[in-house]
Amino acid sequence: MVCSMMVFLDRDGTINVERHHLASVEGMELLPGAADGIRLLNQLGCSVVVISNQPVVARGGCSPEMLDAINRRMVELLASEGAALDAIYACPHSPEDGCSCRKPKTGLIEKGRRAFEAELARSFVVGDKCSDIRAGIASGATTFLVRTGHGLDTERAGECEPDYIVDDLRDAAERIYGIIQRNP
């Protein structure tokens, strides 16, 4: 099956264990089910892209080179479980910078849309914070709030309205699979 849609994934708390501003390669640890979910999306033929706010760079807690090394480690861990990402886009700015790439703004999603010629109305955004959900809504994508990372607190706060609330990335991927099966 070929998927003309795109799946945008938050990184921290969605793919890997939330570490509050992950700043070392050693801290990169995949969440249970994350590789399974990404592998299922890969099997569907969907482009899978990470979109991640990384203010730890702007605050000096992590160099751009270290951020690249952390992301390479994530890719290696996923590959060891048969899962792959098509791209990783990160916003290295602080919230005060007012950039267009920091979620809930849609700059990272737009970058992915242009690179992969995606149709956002047929795409998905998965994350654990309202900023992820709001970016997805603003772009016209279907949104999934995962209960991993900050997701359970986000759900309880009720400050954003995702299309779906799921336990984890594997659950989101299974739901996306069902949606694609109904609307090829």
What are 75's two structure tokens? 């890719």
pLDDT for the residue numbered 5: 87
- Any catalytic annotation for residue 153? no
For residues 20 and 55, give the distance between their C-alpha atoms in angstroms, rounded to a whole number.
Answer: 11
HEC letters along 96-136:
HHCCCCCCCCCHHHHHHHHHHCCCHHHCEEEECCHHHHHHH
| Single-letter residue type at 100 | S
Taking the chain (184 residues) in consecutive chunks of 10 residues, what is each chunk's mean pLDDT? Answer: 78 94 92 97 93 92 94 98 98 92 96 92 97 98 97 96 98 95 76
CB 128 within 8 A of CB 153: no
- Any catalytic annotation for residue 12? yes
Name the 3-class secondary structure at 70. helix
What are 111's two structure tokens? 């970058």
pLDDT for the residue numbered 45: 87
For residues 29 and 15, give the distance between their C-alpha atoms in angstroms, rounded to a whole number.
Answer: 9
CATH number of the structural domain 6-182: 3.40.50.1000
pLDDT for the residue numbered 4: 67
CB 83 within 8 A of CB 89: no
* Side-chain-side CA neighbours of residue 43 (13 Å): 12
Which helix (H) or strand (E) covers residue 74, if one does?
A: helix 64-79
- Domain limits, the chain: 6-182
